[in-house]
Structure 1
Amino acid sequence: MSRAPASLRLLALALVVAWGRGDYLADSILCDDIEAICIYDDLPYVTNDTVCGDKHQFLNPARCNCGSMCIKYLEEGEECFMKSLISFPHNLCGPSLECIPVDGEKGHCMRNPARKCLNETLSYEAAQEEGTLGPGEYKPNCDEFGRYAGRQCSPGSTCYCVNTEGERLFGEAPITEKDTMDCACASYWEETESRGLNMGLRCLPNGNFDTLQCADKMCYCFDPQTGSISFGPFPDYMMEDLVCYDEAIHGSIYKRPCELALDEWESQESSEVVTIQESARPVCTHDGYYAAVQYEEGYAYCSDFHGRQIEDFKQEIYLSDGLSCNCARRRYIMEENGLGSNKPKCCPNGEYKPLQTRGLLAYCVDTNGNQYGPAVVTTDITSLPCYSEEPCPTVMEY
């Protein structure tokens, strides 16, 4: 059965409204006649970005999200209500704030210290106010829900990607690039791999999406904001004609050093001629470069992006479970970007020494090189909980 034009349906609806609202029947429960439904319910159908003025715009929770609902964000310390007699609130605690009860049904908009990222932020601000901040402390970066934002940083060195629980992900860059890091690609790969998948979009070394993507001999420009193709696709031999192509980033071929080495290694393995592999399988990251930990001749060694060993950092393979080389990689990135004056001190296997010093101060650090606990003058170094005569595992020579 053919449907009547929208104008006739609206006219019929107007007549129904005039005769009695109770006789109106929507086309379906799927809101496919949303304009008519909104008009019938005396709710605005038109939405725009300025309708709420200085308030914040949300979809109206009424039937079919007719129009907009304008809600004021309360600031930290402002009074809020835990319960309301009305269906929908007129105001809400702003980003990173929760309505925490103080007396009876009333509360105040506060940062909840039960959330780890906010707890660390509050501790940082308290130390800052007291003038007791240590040289290895950096204010955590929390999202609007009080969880860890994708990008975290350490003072004067590098920024790196984490998940919402603060656990380290792929992606790191000098701190000078922090304003351009969103770690969206690092988060994308955490979700992708959690589903058991191992193929997807390529990243940049800092954990962002590469805006140039190639697959099946076709290349295109990718818009991370919309998750769609913004230009192309072109055949891969026309990659340089894409508007997102950057010679400094992409070079003359799409594949990067580790991807090329992996192709070569796998071609030897699949050859009809039986050969003995003289080198271990390259370990690549989501940017096509070498992972921080590589393997060779009974050792796991700390690698730069091109597969070269960083200084003398290595560990016997049988002791290398959980090896990250976080400290070695940070030293390398800092050196390459002119930030080498305060490079961290690493154990022989490339992990952070639990105790770090800077100037006349000493302090303990976690596996990401971030300070925890107080900083003390170096003469009181033995008072620190991480102090040890032998803080690093021994690397045995064969």
Structure 2
Amino acid sequence: MSHDPYREWLRTRLGQELGLHGAETAIEGAVQRRGWPALRALGPRDVVAVLQDVYSGLRQTVGDTRADSWLQSTTVDLAEYAQTVPVPAQPTPGPLAPEATPAPLRWGRRAHDLPLLLARANAEIAGRSLGAIRADPTLRGLAGTAEWDVQATLAEVRRWETEKMLSSLRADHSRTEVADAVAAAAAQAEWLRLNVRELQAELKGGQNVVAQLAHARLTLTQLDAFLQAFTPLIEAGDADQPLPPGEARLDRDFFSLEVPLNPAVLRARHALKLAQWRAEAGQDAGAATAQAQQALEAAETEARAQLETTLHTARTAQARFAPLRQQVGALEERLKVLGQRGGDPLSLARVRLEWRQARAAARVQAHLLEQAMRLLESLVDAGVTSDQALNQGAAQNPEQTEN
């Protein structure tokens, strides 16, 4: 197997569109812009980053339609390639079992930190095992299988890093949504105060508005209690943050790498490769190989279902966000017109309340879309790659390995 199979695949694929010289220029430009070590082998997430760079250029030269079609078909082909070729991995330096055993970790950490610590430990063990396998001539044929193990453990690290990122993102979103709720409550309280004054005037004029007035006063009392409790807890400026555009590309093919790079799929693929190696080594592993194949197919099916669920969440949020954003824009224009025409305070307060409520509802959908997109991109985004950390600065291994 090539020392850098994904770079070779990328060079060949880009050569079809840009020519060999253009392909090499695109790859080297992406490497330099991101500060990647020149000799480090690329993985599928790195390839995605280069493809996104090329896609941006193609949009300018051949138009969005052709560029989208090219990126979609190339991503699907990359996903198929990722099912057969592991990311070239460098072994973790040091002995498999260090002489000095580190002190046990204290259990005072937050519970959600522990799975990430365990995943990182497993990734280090897998890297050390790969080094030991490559150093043993009798096990050298197992090196390709060990690379799948390294890739699976690093994907598990990435999974828990994603959970940590999403936890922080949801907390930020919750703070903003509470600020929106407080701003909407303040707008409603302002409208109710004006409404109470109007009802009081109508009552003095002889109109029968006693029940309406009592209900308005009761609601205002409840809102004032809510504002007294929550206003000190939020940053008022959070509610005035602009709404995001809410635009996202949600075609399944653009996320086809989610399946082969899913941690469970990679783990099942490693188990299958191990069973196949044992069968080739003369061990009676026919039944184990069949079971491993079935487990891989089951893991792929579940990964596809997870992808579809997340895509459905994103599409639903995007569909709900669009009309809400339009409503916010229409209300902003209405407020502007009322202000220019000297609209009465009660009408202005009512429109301002509707505007705040629409913004709050739109932001909830925008947040759901963002969370789904961050989850979708977590396995294929080259912005954070655990395998890069493992391979950082490592020289290319001169030995060839098999898949």
TM-score range, shorter chain: under 0.3
User: Would you tell me which structure has more strand in proportion to its own residues?
Assistant: 1
**Relative contact order higher in (CA < 8 Å, ≥ 6 apart):** 2
Structure with more helix by fraction: 2
Q: TM-score, normalised by structure 1?
A: 0.22
TM-score, structure 2 as length reference:
0.21
